[in-house]
Amino acid sequence: MTTERYPSDLVITVQDFTDCGWKAVLTSTTRDGYSSMWHSFSEAARQAIEDRRQTHGKVLWLIADACSMMLSPQSINEPFKPFMVMEGRRSVISDDLQEAEVIFFSQLVEQIDDPWLKARLADLVWLLQRKLGTKFALDAIDAYTAIPLDTSTWINGGRECWERAISLSLTLRAGAGDRLGNIESAIITAFDSSAKADGFLALWLTDLLAKNRLARTQSERIATKLESLGHEFDTEGDLHRARSFFDASSNWFQKCGNTAKAVELTVKMAEGWVKEAVARMSSEQPSYMAAGPCPTFKVYIFMAVPFYIDSFAE
């Protein structure tokens, strides 16, 4: 808890924040999402306290605590979870922050130019002190959506940040202005720019759109690109990614009413399972169970494999 590391009555000011070296901490961080920020600010806080810079230490610990929380964007009322729960104890959650500490965060938001940190503090202020106004929700949305939409960032917390931005926009409704539309456009732009080299990124982006019922008028275009990427992966023998993209493409074709293409892509996905089964059976250590979680396609494989083997024998 925050009170275990510094006196709760230790007064801190915005000037303490300005002088505590927070920018240098961020510069030295590997930037693998909030977890790396938490580690960096924790180390800086310990060093500040060792150097007898108590107010700086408290500021840095508060920021570390804020960064330590796990973002759970699907939860409207409890979007921040402890990063660790062990033997009846847990790490910090938003409810552990005192009102004065949240007010302190509200005084920092305008000074922060780092989107990760700005989004986190603004979001906590909005969650815990609604009386301060929707400005902080809007600040959080704008900061979250300044986080890049690339594969590395997505894996290290970017997905949760963008999903939280969507959740906040939906909560504010008209109060969010055109932010939801801008978010949709940004995701589609990133999707259009994605390529095979980005791995699953295009798929992840469309999953986020589908989950939030966005880009429905773009369904056919999205489905077509997902199909194209599926074929690229299939040609290279990356059957796992190919199946995933064909499955997603089928779902998007279904959304726009193109049932024929949806069925075609479902068949392509099934054929991928067959290819994998044949490859396994042809290996030096053959396996007769195709890997994968889908029983339906396993049945398809067991029915289709004998035909494929016969065709190869011919």
Count CB-CB contacts under 10 A for residue 55: 18
Burial 301-310 (b: 16+ CB within 10 A, else e): beebbeebee
Write out the chain's pLDDT in tens, 314 residues: 444 577 778 999 999 999 999 999 999 988 789 999 999 999 999 999 999 999 999 999 999 999 999 999 988 889 999 998 888 899 999 999 999 999 999 999 999 999 999 999 999 999 999 999 999 999 999 999 999 999 999 999 999 999 999 999 999 999 999 999 999 999 999 999 999 999 999 999 999 999 999 999 999 999 999 999 999 999 999 999 999 999 999 999 999 999 999 999 999 999 988 887 776 776 666 555 444 444 444 444 443 344 333 433 33
The pLDDT score that the predictor gives to residue 204 is 98
H/E stretch holding 81: strand 80-81
The pLDDT score that the predictor gives to residue 296 is 46
Residue tagged 């069925």 (tokens): 263
| Residue/partner pairs of 272-277 with CB below 8 Å, 24 or more apart | 272/234, 272/239, 272/242, 272/243, 272/246, 273/243, 273/297, 273/298, 273/300, 273/301, 274/300, 274/301, 274/304, 274/305, 274/308, 275/239, 276/239, 277/301, 277/305
